[in-house]
């Protein structure tokens, strides 16, 4: 693969119910060569012994979260090197931003943090039939305190397509993250 074939990496972050997966899939449809890398699917690939963050044993859940992060970054880099726009969908807040920055070799990359209101998160999680709001509520403050890198969007009152259009029109100017 030649240097001209290098793509780009876009990380779409947010809490459960923020719209990460829907938005990442919508964004991927706007590029000629793209891949949507959903981190939760990597976690689900663990057949036995999988522990989600927050489950017991707590330490093992966080170790697997770190493993998932390293692997999703490796996949994004590999696709990017082959000329794809790699769109990563994961909860990247707090210290996880630094972990992603350390593991993601592609520079620069683009980071979008979706930050709808707590009420919007509650309503979306209810509509999805998922019991994930307790996670969103607990992580909301962590997300608010995540260092300001890239682009932050309150997508509370926007449809997925509206948010997608906003990102496409602004991400190259506002979401760019360089190596520390």
Residue with tokens 């993250």: 177
Instruction: Provide the domain limits for residue 82.
Output: 3-177
pLDDT tens for each residue of the chain, 180 residues long = 344 457 999 999 998 889 999 999 999 999 999 999 999 999 999 999 999 887 889 899 899 999 999 999 999 999 999 999 999 999 999 889 999 999 999 889 999 999 999 888 888 777 776 665 556 677 888 888 787 899 999 999 999 999 999 999 999 999 999 866
CATH of the domain at 105: 3.40.50.300
Total structural domains within the chain:
1
Does the pTM of the predicted model rise above 0.85? yes
Is 112 in contact with 153 (CB distance < 8 Å)? yes
Residue with tokens 């620069």: 108
């Amino acid at each position: 693969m030649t240097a001209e074939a290098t793509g780009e990496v876009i990380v779409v972050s947010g809490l459960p119910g923020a719209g990460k997966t829907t938005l990442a899939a919508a964004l991927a449809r706007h590029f000629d060569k793209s891949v949507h890398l959903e981190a939760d699917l990597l976690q689900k690939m663990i057949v036995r012994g999988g522990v989600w963050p927050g489950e017991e044993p707590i330490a093992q859940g966080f170790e697997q979260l770190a493993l998932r992060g390293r692997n999703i970054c490796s996949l994004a880099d590999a696709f990017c090197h082959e000329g794809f726009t790699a769109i990563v969908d994961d909860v990247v807040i707090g210290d996880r931003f630094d972990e992603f920055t350390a593991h993601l070799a592609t520079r620069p990359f683009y980071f979008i943090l979706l930050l709808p209101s707590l009420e919007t998160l509650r309503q979306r999680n209810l509509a999805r039939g998922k019991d994930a709001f307790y996670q969103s509520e607990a992580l909301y403050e962590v997300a608010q305190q995540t260092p300001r890198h890239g682009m932050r969007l309150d997508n509370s009152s926007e449809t997925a397509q509206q948010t997608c259009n906003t990102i496409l029109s602004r991400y190259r100017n506002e979401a760019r993250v360089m190596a520390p």
